[in-house]
């Protein structure tokens, strides 16, 4: 079998553990393909997509800040892309068309269900591509979704684009009805510092049910810190907290099946993906 080459692209991208995760899946599946990280600026994005179209790259996972900009470079998109206005997976179909998918929606929905969550009122913090996926995922589970961003106009724009949910004012979260799920859909917890603390403070002032859950899409905290500011604050307040590792695995497994044009990735390969990321995070802290 001729080895294929896949990448995760973003800017920044050095933090990504997707290569570790996908390498574990490919080994488990007995496939010779290669999956690597590539830093790509906004100006470089069109040329990288052209490489996929020409076949020198066989698939891309797309992360911050390119999920929305990717749409303009694609020939066709899935329904989830249309719903979110963002793409995180790019590949060429058998007819030669450049296809965009959004596996974040399915990945988050699957992980919420795996944790036994069926939210009634969800608050999504953020207004980028990941936030759009979170809004769609929660709404498909039947939740009434509110969106808040530090720039209120961005939350309003997200709601208009996605056509679901409602915008909440960042400085007036306490005026809302209680939420039973709060999702950080920004990279603030990864960056740490004041940005992460701003997300934690938003959680604290938002009205919450007694059994409210904090979910942070960030799966890897700053070096030397084992949790994100949001999850640390939520735990201190007595709330259940969940990081984004499960979503990372689920969306990655779906993307890999699209790259391979195959059936869903096996439970064995998913377990290998989770174990590889968990081990890599442990090494970072222990080192």
136 in Cβ contact with 115 (< 8 Å): no
Residues 21 and 48 in one domain: yes
Per-residue pLDDT at 15: 84
pLDDT at 186 over 50: yes
Cβ count within 10 A of residue 244: 24
Residues 147 and 175 in one domain: yes
Residues 232 and 112 in one domain: yes
Q: The domain spanning residue 172 has which CATH number?
A: 3.40.50.720
Residues 255 and 227 in one domain: no
Per-residue pLDDT at 223: 46
Model pTM? 0.90
Residues 186 and 235 in one domain: yes
The answer for residues whose C-beta is within 8 angstroms of residue 21's C-beta and 6 or more apart is 248, 249, 252, 273, 276, 277
Residues 224 and 273 in one domain: no
Catalytic residues: 67
Distance, CA of 126 to CA of 134 (rounded, Å)? 10
81 in Cβ contact with 72 (< 8 Å): no
The dihedral built from the CA positions of residue 203, 209, 213 and 217, taken in this order, carries a sign that is negative
Per-residue pLDDT at 170: 97
pLDDT in tens, 221-249: 654 556 899 999 999 999 999 999 999 99
Residues 92 and 154 in one domain: no
Segment 267-272 mean pLDDT: 96
Q: The domain spanning residue 95 has which CATH number?
A: 3.40.50.10860
Per-residue pLDDT at 64: 85
Residues 118 and 238 in one domain: yes
Residues 96 and 147 in one domain: no
Segment 161-177 mean pLDDT: 95
Per-residue pLDDT at 222: 54
Per-residue pLDDT at 21: 97
Short-list 209, 271, 219, CA closest to 240: 209
pLDDT at 190 over 90: no
Residues 152 and 261 in one domain: no
pLDDT in tens, 114-137: 999 999 999 999 998 889 999 999
Per-residue pLDDT at 220: 67
Supply φ then ψ for residue 115, to 5 degrees. Answer: -90, 5
pLDDT at 287 over 80: no
User: Domain range for residue 194?
Assistant: 106-243
Using CA atoms, how far residue 249 sits from 92, 110, 210, 255, 281, in Å, is 22, 10, 29, 10, 14
What is the rounded average pLDDT for all residues in the chain? 93
Residues 207 and 239 in one domain: yes
pLDDT in tens, 57-99: 999 999 989 998 999 999 999 999 988 988 999 999 999 999 9
Distance, CA of 1 to CA of 32 (rounded, Å)? 7
Show the CA angle centred on residue 8, arms to residues 22 and 6, nearest 5°: 65
Residues 208 and 184 in one domain: yes
- pLDDT band at 191, cuts 50/70/90? low
- Could you give the number of structural domains in the chain? 2
Distance, CA of 94 to CA of 161 (rounded, Å)? 30
């Amino acid at each position: 079998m001729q080895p294929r080459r896949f990448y995760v692209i973003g800017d920044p991208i050095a933090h990504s553990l997707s290569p570790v995760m996908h390498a574990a899946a490919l080994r488990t599946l007995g496939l010779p393909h290669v999956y690597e990280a590539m830093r790509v600026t906004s100006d470089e994005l069109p040329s990288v997509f052209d490489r996929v179209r020409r076949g020198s790259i066989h698939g891309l996972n797309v992360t911050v800040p390119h999920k929305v900009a990717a749409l303009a470079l694609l020939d066709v998109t899935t329904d989830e892309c249309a719903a979110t206005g963002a793409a995180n997976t790019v590949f060429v179909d058998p007819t030669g068309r450049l296809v965009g998918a959004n596996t974040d929606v399915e990945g988050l929905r699957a992980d919420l269900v795996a944790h036994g969550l069926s939210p009634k009122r969800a608050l999504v913090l953020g207004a980028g591509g990941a936030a759009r996926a979170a809004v769609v995922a929660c709404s498909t589970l039947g939740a009434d979704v509110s969106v808040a961003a530090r720039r209120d106009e961005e939350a309003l724009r997200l709601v208009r684009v996605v056509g679901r949910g409602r915008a909440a004012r960042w400085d007036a979260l306490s005026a809302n009805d209680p939420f039973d799920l709060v999702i950080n859909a920004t990279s603030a917890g990864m960056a740490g510092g004041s940005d992460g603390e701003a997300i934690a403070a938003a959680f604290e002032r938002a009205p919450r049910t007694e059994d409210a859950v904090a979910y942070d899409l960030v799966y890897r905290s700053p070096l030397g810190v084992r949790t994100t500011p949001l999850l640390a604050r939520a735990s201190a307040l007595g709330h259940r907290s969940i990081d984004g590792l499960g979503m990372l695995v689920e969306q990655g497994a779906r993307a890999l099946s699209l790259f391979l044009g195959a059936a869903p990735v096996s439970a064995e390969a998913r377990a290998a993906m989770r174990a590889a990321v968990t081990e890599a995070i442990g090494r970072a802290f222990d080192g």
